[in-house]
Amino acid sequence: ITGRETGSNKQTASKSCALSIVRQLYHLGVIEAFSGTLKKNREAEQLKPYTVKISDEVMDQVTDVLNGLEIHPVAVDVRQCP
């Protein structure tokens, strides 16, 4: 794999070089095609939290999984929940 590109400045040359390397890796089967989206979903950021009821057993299971994956939940102010 080689990367050698030209550009009008360092930034464009660097971007062209990076794109060339990514294309080579894709064609070699090292990386897969991107299947996600580049557009941010603004609606999800504006959703207000809401209260749900779950059993203590389910809560313990969720907590165990999150701890095992080293994921720390975001604290939510329950006074803002309807």
In three state form, how does the secondary structure of the chain look?
CCCCCCCCCHHHHHHHHHHHHHHHHHHCCCCCCCCCCCCCCHHHHHCCCCCCCCCHHHHHHHHHHHHHCCCCCCCCCHHHCC
Domain interval for residue 26: 10-34+45-80
| 30 within domain boundaries | yes
Residue 64 confidence (pLDDT) above 90: yes
| 18 within domain boundaries | yes
Output the average pLDDT for the chain: 84
| 5 within domain boundaries | no
Residue 36 confidence (pLDDT) above 60: yes
Residue 17 confidence (pLDDT) above 90: yes
